[in-house]
Structure 1
Amino acid sequence: MIHPTADVSPEAQIGAGTRIWHFAQVREGAVIGQNCIVGKDVYIDFDVVIGDNVKIQNGALIYHGATLEDGVFIGPQACLTNDRVPRAITPDGRLKTAEDWEVGSIR
């Protein structure tokens, strides 16, 4: 079942029994397994691979490079980026350690 407001590329593969809800977007080359639930406002980028029996809650963002195995649960508003070590490299190319971070607060 694909909700009429969902935007699913004809180049995406959607498994049997998968439900894609309101305003979700599934890009070209994405592969979604069987019996999955893709919630409202979910974004699935191109070439993402999702196994069987996966539940992706409302507003989650799954970006290029992500692979979800069978039975995975993604909570609401979660963001899976394509950056395996985000902001973890210093300007000179060294992997950051705890000493490289500054502790701060939000005012």
Structure 2
Amino acid sequence: MNDSKKYFAHPTACIDEGAGIGAGTKIWHFCHISAGCEIGENCNIGQNVFVAPGVKIGNYCKIQNNVSVYEGVELGNYVFCGPSMVFTNVQRPRCKYPQRGSQFYAHTPVGDGASIGANATIVCGHSIGKNAFVAAGSVVTKDVPDHAIVMGVPARICGWVCECGEKLREDLVCPKCGRHYIQAENGLKEEK
């Protein structure tokens, strides 16, 4: 999985031995990719991105500049992380009482197709649903359902979004692609 002929890394990127990187992935200037992480195929890792040990990143993800993906975070396929958005991984950090190690890091799964806007903060231990949209600058303090649009501090649901990225009408139909959605256990799901 780590054949340098199958992925691109800028000469300034630091790729630790033992990092798993899929074919077609591009890693840009000043990134640090840690041993023990797994990055899927055809991802684009922007400038100054840090990926910690134990992180799993799916296929076709785009992580914009200045994002740190800490241990405990797991990104599905086609996830977009906007510039300078923030993941956390310790719920009650204290410098005097360090909490280092996997047992202290909260799991933060991000579902397939989710988008997280620039400068948003995701408080650890909360999930971001499939195809959800977190608006720029929002602070997520609870789980985000599938297809929800959340914004604000703290982030609240303000609408629903299609898999294609268009805001759904009140009848839960996409005005762009015509997909129909219905209420589901964790947000919305496409009506087949």
- Counterpart in 2 of 1:22? 29
Count of matched residue pairs: 85
Give, in angstroms, the shift of residue 29 of structure 1. Answer: 0.3
- Where do 4+ consecutive residues of structure 1 move more than 6 Å? none
Pairing partner for 1:64 from 48, 51, 71: 71
1:80 aligns with 2:80: no
Root mean square deviation, CA, Å:
0.9
Contact conserved, 1:51 with 1:71, CA < 8 A, in 2? yes
Q: Which runs of 5+ in 2 are unaligned?
A: 1-7, 93-192
Percent identical residues? 45
Give the TM-score taking structure 2 as reference length.
Answer: 0.43
Secondary structure of residue in 2 paired with 1:52: coil
Q: Which runs of 5+ in 1 are unaligned?
A: 88-107
Higher relative contact order structure (alpha carbons within 8 Å, sequence separation ≥ 6): 1
Give, in angstroms, the shift of residue 68 of structure 1. Answer: 0.1
Q: Which has the higher strand share?
A: 2
In structure 1, what is the Cα distance between the partners aligned to 2:34 and 2:58?
16
- Counterpart in 2 of 1:5? 12
- Counterpart in 2 of 1:48? 55
Q: Summarize deviations over 1:17-76 as a string: whole Å, max 9, x none.
A: 000000000111010000000000001111100000000000001101110000000011
What code does the residue aligned with 2:30 have?
F
Secondary structure of residue in 1 paired with 2:9: coil
